[in-house]
């Protein structure tokens, strides 16, 4: 029952929610309901793991800034075992 209600609520959130786009790549990140509430921004229904960042802007404005979304790059870190063992 609880799972069904949750699924219905998420369906509605995605239905009326906004489509989020990766500001770096233009990739579709899915739909979510974004609600500012009590000093925070609540993101409901988003399936993708995203990072929220203030976007760079060419025009200097004092009255408006934008928060956009992007993702972390795929992990591609070198092996550092050898360095640790020889240091």
Partner 1 sequence: MANVLNVVLSHQPPADVDRLVGYWNSLLDLGNVVIAYGGPRSSFDRIAFNKKIFIGDPNLRTQDHQREAQSYTAVFKEASLWLRNRSDAIHFVTLFEFDHLPLVRDLNARQVKRLQTEGADVLAYHLARVDDTSHPHYLHYAANGEFIRFFRKLSVRDDPSVVLSMFGTGSCWTHEAFDAIGAFIEPFPVYFEIYLPTLAHHLGFRLRDYGDQNTFVSNLGDRSGEVESAKNQGAWTLHPVKTLPASL
Binding site residues, partner 1, CB under 8 A: 43, 46, 48-52, 71-81, 83-84
From 45, 35, 62, select the one nearest 6 (Cα to Cα): 45
Give the residue with the Cβ less far from partner 1, 26 or 74: 74
Give the residue with the Cβ less far from partner 1, 65 or 80: 80
Q: State CA 26 to chain mean position distance.
A: 13
Give the residue with the Cβ less far from partner 1, 56 or 60: 56
CB 49, min distance to partner 1, A: 4
What are the C-alpha distances in Å from 20 to residues 27, 34, 39, 46, 50?
Answer: 9, 10, 21, 9, 10
């Amino acid at each position: 029952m609880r799972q069904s209600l949750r699924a219905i609520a998420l369906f509605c959130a995605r239905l009326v929610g906004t489509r989020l786009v990766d500001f770096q790549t233009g990739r579709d990140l899915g739909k979510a309901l974004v609600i500012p509430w009590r000093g925070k921004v609540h993101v409901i229904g988003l399936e993708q793991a995203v990072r929220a960042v203030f976007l760079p802007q060419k025009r200097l404005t004092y009255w408006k800034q934008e928060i956009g979304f992007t993702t972390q790059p795929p992990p591609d870190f070198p092996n550092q075992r050898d360095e640790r063992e020889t240091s």
